[in-house]
Amino acid sequence: MSSRLRGFDSSVGEKIVIGATGLALFLYLIIHITANLTVFGGAAFFNGSADLLERIPILPVIEIGLLLIFLIHIYKTVTMFIGNQRARPVGYAKKKNAGRTSRKTFASSTMIFTGLWLLLFLIVHVKAFRYGPQYEYEGMKDFYRLEMENLSNPFMVAFYVLSMLVVGSHLWHGASSSLQSLGVDHPQWTPRILIAGKVLAVAIAGGFIVIAIWAYLVATQVLL
């Protein structure tokens, strides 16, 4: 293994990889929620927007790239977590508050667990929407009906709402820490980045929750 590749196995290297892949996934979620908000425009608008994306020639390459980024992010996070646990095999006798200046929060302390939950969510999500029933709408795939059909189930909606709360918690810390892992740290801009990351985390999670609840409420009318 070359010295450059070995550098990514160091603790600093792992943080850089986790930060870079996390930032890429965060940017993808911004695009994803923006595209999904078109569902409020109705079946024709939503399906037309989805059809435009489906016709992008390199879409399969993009999807494979996103999958690899997600798997690398999960793998590196888990291996770093295990490494940290092995380095401190005996837990603290008593945990104390780190103080006001500490950036340690509930969100940062549960990153590994929320990340694994999101892995489960991704499997369910892809199975339901990517490999679900195929419907046609005016010569296009009817993604609108598929979304309404999936979210007409109250248990699925509850799972989505809970998962989006997990997404919000994960992004609350991850969006800002990814930039810090990449060395973005400035006395003036870092606080702004932290706030912007939290605002976007709430907006992304909140947007998906609103879509899920709204779809459940109108699904009965659409599926008649």
Q: Where are the beta strands (DSSP E) in the chain?
A: 136-137, 140-141
Give the residue-averaged pLDDT of 185-211.
87
Residue 180 lies in a domain: yes
Residue 93 lies in a domain: no
Residue 203 lies in a domain: yes
Q: 61-116: per-residue pLDDT in tens?
A: 999 999 999 999 999 888 888 887 777 655 554 545 444 445 566 766 778 888 88
Do residues 171 and 29 make contact, with C-beta atoms less than 8 angstroms apart?
yes
Q: Give the pLDDT confidence score for residue 98 in this predicted structure.
A: 47
Residue 1 lies in a domain: no
pLDDT band of residue 151 (cuts 50, 70, 90) is very high
Task: Write out the two tokens for 59.
Answer: 């879409």
Q: What b/e string do you get for 168-186 counting C-beta neighbours within 10 Å, with b at 16 or more? A: bbbbbbbbbbbbebeeeee
Give the residue-averaged pLDDT of 110-138.
89
| CATH code, 213 | 1.20.1300.10
Q: Give the pLDDT confidence score for residue 159 in this predicted structure.
A: 96
The mean pLDDT value of the chain amounts to 84
Residue 125 exposure: Cα atoms within 13 Å on the Cβ side: 13
Q: Pairing mode, if any, of strands 136-137 and 140-141?
A: antiparallel
pTM of the model: 0.83
pLDDT band of residue 197 (cuts 50, 70, 90) is confident
Q: Give the pLDDT confidence score for residue 10 in this predicted structure.
A: 64
Collapsing DSSP to helix, strand or coil, 140 comes out as strand
Q: How many residues does the chain have?
A: 224
Residue 94 lies in a domain: no
Residue 100 lies in a domain: no
Comparing 2-11, 60-69, 126-135, the range with the smallest average pLDDT is: 2-11
Q: What b/e string do you get for 105-122 counting C-beta neighbours within 10 Å, with b at 16 or more? A: eebbeebbebbebbeebe
Residue 130 lies in a domain: yes
Q: Which domain holds residue 204?
A: 6-87+107-222
State the total domains in the chain: 1
pLDDT band of residue 52 (cuts 50, 70, 90) is very high
Residue 97 lies in a domain: no
